Structure 1
Amino acid sequence: MKPVDLVTRAPNTWCPGCGNFAIQHALKDVVSGLVEEGTPLERVVLVTGIGCHGKMADYLGVNSFYAIHGRTLPVATGIKVANPDLVVIACAGDGDCYGEGLEHLLFAAKRNVDVTLLVHDNRVYGLTTGQYTPTSPLGFPGRSTPRGTPEYPINPVELMIAGGASWVGRGYSRRLPQLRGLIRGGIRHRGFSFLEVLQVCATFYNRTEYYDGHVYDLDTGSFPAGEVDAALAAAREWDYSRDARIPLGVFYEAVFPTFEERLAEQRAPGADPAEVMRKLFRDRT
Structure 2
Amino acid sequence: MNAIATITTTLKDWESDQEVRWCPGCGDYAILKAVQRTMPEIGANPATTVFVSGIGCSSRFPYYMASYGFHTIHGRAPAFATGIKLSNPELDIWLVTGDGDGMSIGGNHTMHLIRRNLNCQIMLFNNEIYGLTKGQYSPTSRQGTTSPTTPLGSVDRPASPAAFALGSGARFIGRGFDVSKHLPDVLKAAHAHRGAAFIEIFQNCIVYNKDVFEDFAAPKGAEDRQLWLKNGEPMLFGSDKTGGVKGIALDAEKLTLKVVDVTDGDWQGAGVIVHDVTNRSVAHMLVEMPFGPFPMALGVLYDDPRPTYEDAVLGQDAQAREGKNTDLRKLLAKGQTWTVSEDQGPLSGV
Give TM-score, length-normalised by structure 2.
0.72
Corresponding position of 1:58: 63
Gaps spanning 5+ residues in structure 1: where? 277-285
Contact 1:77 1:115 in 2 (8 A): no
Q: Which moved more, 1:69-78 or 1:25-34?
A: 25-34
Code of the aligned partner of 2:21? T
3-state SS of paired residue (1:267)? helix
Larger gyration radius, structure 1 or structure 2: 2
The residue aligned with 2:23 is: 15
Q: 2:202 aligns with which of 181, 198, 203?
A: 198
Alignment: residue pair count: 267
Alignment of 1:186-225 (within 5 A): 186-207=190-211, 208-210=213-215, 211-212=217-218, 213=222, 214-221=225-232, 222-225=274-277
1:181 paired to 2:185: yes
Unpaired segments ≥5 residues, structure 2: 1-8, 233-273, 327-350
Pairwise CA distance, 1:195: 0.2
SS, match of residue 179 in structure 2: coil
Distance in structure 2 (CA, Å) of the matches to 1:267 and 1:247:
41
Equivalent of residue 308 in structure 2, options 258, 262, 265: 258
Q: 1:267 corresponds to which residue? A: 317
Of residues 254-263 and 205-214 in structure 1, the stretch that sits farther from structure 2 once superposed is 205-214
Supply the AA of the counterpart residue of 2:288. R
What is the rounded CA distance, in whole Å, between the counterparts of 2:147 and 2:226 in structure 1?
24
SS in 2 for 1:238: coil
Identity in percent: 30
Instruction: Select 2:280's aligned residue among 228, 249, 257.
Output: 228
Q: Which has the higher contact order (CA 8 A, sep 6+)?
A: 1
CA distance in 2, matches of 1:270, 1:32: 39
Root-mean-square deviation over aligned CA pairs: 1.9
Q: Which runs of 4+ in 1 moved over 6 A?
A: none
Q: What are the within-5 Å matches in structure 2 for residues 233-248 of structure 1?
A: 233-238=285-290, 245-248=295-298
More helix by share: 1
Give the AA of the match of 1:184.
K
* Deviation for aligned residue 1:264: 2.1
In the alignment, the residues of structure 2 paired with residue 181 and residue 173 of structure 1 have an alpha-carbon distance, to the nearest angstrom, of 13
Please tell me whether the aligned partners of residues 94 and 135 of structure 1 are also in contact (alpha carbons under 8 angstroms): yes
Matched, 1:92 2:97: yes
Kept in 1: contact 2:162–2:287 (CA 8 A): yes
1:269 deviates by 4.2
Counterpart for residue 249 of structure 1:
299
Over residues 208-251 of structure 1, what are the superposed CA-to-partner deviations in whole Å (9 max), with x where a residue is unaligned?
Answer: 53232543313543232321111111111137xx7753111111
The CA deviation string for residues 123-180 of structure 1, in whole angstroms up to 9 with x for no partner, is 111111111111100010012111111101011111212221111111111213x111
Per-residue Cα deviation, 1:46-94 (whole angstroms, up to 9, x for no partner): 1011111111111111100011000111111111111111100010011
After TM superposition, list the pairs within 5 Å mapping 1:158-169 onto structure 2.
158-169=163-174
Q: 1:131: which partner in 2? A: 136
Written as runs of structure 1 = structure 2, the 5 A alignment for 1:19-30 is 19-30=27-38
1:31-110 equivalence runs, <5 A: 31-34=39-42, 37=43, 39-110=44-115
**Is residue 70–residue 96 contact of structure 1 (8 Å, CA) maintained in 2?**
yes
